[in-house]
Amino acid sequence: MQRNSLSGLNKRRRAVTLALVAVAIGGASGCDDPFGLDATLEVVTDTSVAFAMTGTAASSPSGFNAATGGVLRIQSDMAFDVAFDLTTDNKVRFIPARLISAVKSSFGSTVATQQVSLQAPSGGFDALTKAPSGGYKADSVVVVSTGQPVVIEVTSDACQFSLASLIYAKVVVDSVNTTTRQIFFRATRNPNCGFRSFQPGIPKD
């Protein structure tokens, strides 16, 4: 009697396991992204202004966060992903956060600053509908003229509880005020971890 009960229980367990495996495989194959996850947040485009990191007051915001679109001050929490500065011929330098400080303060602890990778692809800002899958330079400065887009790939703290760890944004500097050292730019950001589309709406990839 006991043996028959155990045998029946084992059969039921095997049946449930096979059913769960079938559901998992079916669910993964039905999704467009490699992790079988759906995006929930819309791609956002903003117009913003930042100050050059040098030649301006320390209280002036010179950093940009790719996940939130925030223009932020340079502080020890390193909440920004890239900082802006100007060259002597008034081109714009995109400086990854880790080049400013290798560590940051986080909830009372000191941790490594996030990795930021950049590239300046050919073509216009509007024509760039998806972040490239490769070709980035990790923690390296990129210098561009106005009108040339830059794509940002960030190992973002916003993705620490996600299966994917990367956030993507594209930025183009529209103009520079050389007197006030202000940098006027547009940014399109995809706040969904692991998704690379810059098309309006909730992305599928």
Q: Sorting pLDDT into bands at 50, 70 and 90, what band is 160?
A: confident
Mean pLDDT score of the chain: 87
d(CA 132, CA 143): 19
Q: Percentages helix, strand, coil for the chain, rounded to the nearest 5?
A: 15, 35, 50
Cα 150 to the center of its chain, rounded Å? 13
Using CA atoms, how far apart are residues 108 and 26, in angstroms rounded to an integer? 44
The tens digit of pLDDT for each residue in 59-117 reads: 999 999 999 999 999 999 999 999 999 999 999 999 999 999 999 998 889 999 999 99
Contact 169, 141 (CB under 8 A): no
| Torsions phi, psi for 136 (to 5 deg) | -85, 155
Six token digits for residue 128? 């760039």
* Predicted pLDDT of residue 161: 83
Q: What is the dihedral of CA 120, 121, 124, 127, to 10 degrees?
A: -130
Write down the pTM of the prediction.
Answer: 0.81
Asked whether the predicted pLDDT for residue 125 surpasses 80, the reply is: yes
What is residue 30's predicted lDDT score, i.e. its pLDDT? Answer: 37
The pLDDT value recorded for residue 194 is: 93
The Cα 104–Cα 102 span in angstroms is 7
By CB neighbour count within 10 A (0-12 exposed, 13-18 middle, 19+ buried), where does 60 fall?
middle
- β-pairing verdict for 142-144 and 92-96: antiparallel
pLDDT in tens, 169-182: 999 999 999 999 99
Q: Which pLDDT band, with edges at 50, 70 and 90, does 35 fall under?
A: low
Question: How many Cα atoms sit within 13 Å of 33 on the Cβ side?
Answer: 17
